[in-house]
Structure 1
Amino acid sequence: MSNVNTIITIGRQYGSGGREIGQKLAADLGIKLYDKEMLDRAAKESGICQELFETHDEKPTNSFLYSLVMDTYSLGYSSGTYNDMPLNHKVFLAQFDAIKKIADEGPCILVGRCADYALESYDNVMSVFIHADLDARVRRITRLYDLTDAKAKDTILKTDKKRASYYNYYTNKKWGDVDSYDFSLSSSELGIDGTVAALKALIELRENVTDRKL
């Protein structure tokens, strides 16, 4: 599958192994994976300080003033309104543009950051959501970060809440909802390697179907 033509976007529950799955899939397919690298690219191309991208990374704003101002804008914007936008929105739009530029360069894997929404007009995009049982995620996070079960569970729930709020706010879809993605897979059922294998099979099937339509 070295000649893969598909761009894969991965949404993921915290602790589901979504990033590791993406890394292994990228290695097997011989394509690049973008995670935090999307922030680097957006910062470089927009001229906005990189620390601001880190600060706002997949986190909803807690500012009442920001929410108040945001209500006056839509995602469609003119250069005039852009200058008056809250910084949070400028950061999102810069990231949105960077995702499209990355996708225009060829097949790749994009983790999180509403990439599926940014690329919804692209025909060669396969959007995936990786989830797992809470117990499995707790075990993974306690092992990776040496946390107690209680602390791991608290971190998982808070991180998922932030990701959901961010996604739901900036897109017209619902985070984690089966209707928001092409495929939803459980890494606790399939395992990390099994999920990678399933995704490779789905990509191949999808590309075969696409070829027949041409």
Structure 2
Amino acid sequence: MNNNLVITIGRQCGSGGKAIGLKLAERLGVKCYDKELLNLAAKNSGLCKELFESHDEKPTSSFLYSLVMDTYSLGYTTSAYTDMPINHKIFLAQFDTIKKLAMEESCIIVGRCADYALADFPNVVSVFISADEEEKIKRLAKVNNLPEAKARDLMIKTDKKRSSYYNYYSSKKWGDAVSYELCLNSSSLGQEGCVDIILDFAKKKQEWLKK
């Protein structure tokens, strides 16, 4: 296992989690992977990028999931799951890409069950970012140029999708404090405040691991 620092960020829609990830990446001088992860997984797996975009953070049949994870646990390679449903190929390709990134470089990874994929990596900091509902709705309305009612609908639908995906693939509960090492409310701290606390936490964790 290497000493690369990887910070994973789960986030509520409109909480500014991606922006916090970008600020962390800038402060650390590393890359932040969000949608970029889809391109890497597509390249590594040989599947087309559009498939990853259409299946991004979407759950699927529990029976088929059990089947594919049993196969994965046996250590089968990409070529061995050729006949699996496409959504499972996509999940496993992302899973493998996340692990490959953690082995190769320090980085920030937003969403996509990265904390679960890297559960065996000691030098990983798992974070969840929430925010007050009114602030999330206003941010989404501004960023997407939407009426607040539609922004609220977007928030609810996106969080439902993210929650279902995370709960399904990780066997943990999305947004639950016990699922992460650090949970922060960006409405209480601001984005820069969240960045400061995450970096301080990461530093102290690294110091603790060296003891």
TM > 0.5 fold call: yes
Q: How many residues align?
A: 205
For the 8 Å contact 1:70–1:86, the answer to whether it is kept is: no
Q: Which amino acid aligns with 2:174?
A: W
Q: Report the CA distance shift for 1:11/1:88 in structure 2 as closer, same or farther (over 3 A).
A: same
For the 8 Å contact 2:14–2:137, the answer to whether it is kept is: yes
For the 8 Å contact 1:133–1:188, the answer to whether it is kept is: yes
Please tell me whether residue 119 in structure 1 is matched to residue 114 in structure 2. Answer: no
Please tell me whether residue 171 in structure 1 is matched to residue 170 in structure 2. Answer: yes
Q: Report the CA distance shift for 1:70/1:117 in structure 2 as closer, same or farther (over 3 A).
A: closer
For the 8 Å contact 2:4–2:102, the answer to whether it is kept is: no
Q: Which runs of 5+ in 1 are unaligned?
A: none
State the 1:60 CA deviation: 2.2
Aligned runs of 1:72-151 on 2, under 5 Å?
Answer: 72-75=67-70, 76-77=73-74, 78=76, 82-151=81-150
Q: Which residue of 1 aligns with 2:206?
A: 207
Q: Which amino acid aligns with 2:168?
A: Y
Q: Secondary structure at the match of 1:58?
A: coil
Q: Secondary structure at the match of 1:14?
A: coil
Partner Cα distance (2:114, 2:6) in 1: 10
Q: Which residue of 2 aligns with 1:9?
A: 8
Partner Cα distance (2:64, 2:119) in 1: 27
Partner Cα distance (1:115, 1:73) in 2: 18
For the 8 Å contact 1:43–1:50, the answer to whether it is kept is: yes
Q: Secondary structure at the match of 2:128?
A: strand
Please tell me whether residue 40 in structure 1 is matched to residue 39 in structure 2. Answer: yes
Q: Secondary structure at the match of 2:146?
A: coil
Q: Which amino acid aligns with 1:37?
A: E
Structure 1 stretches of at least 4 aligned residues deviating more than 3 Å after TM superposition: 66-73, 77-81
Give TM-score, length-normalised by structure 2. 0.91
Q: Report the CA distance shift for 1:108/1:53 in structure 2 as closer, same or farther (over 3 A).
A: same
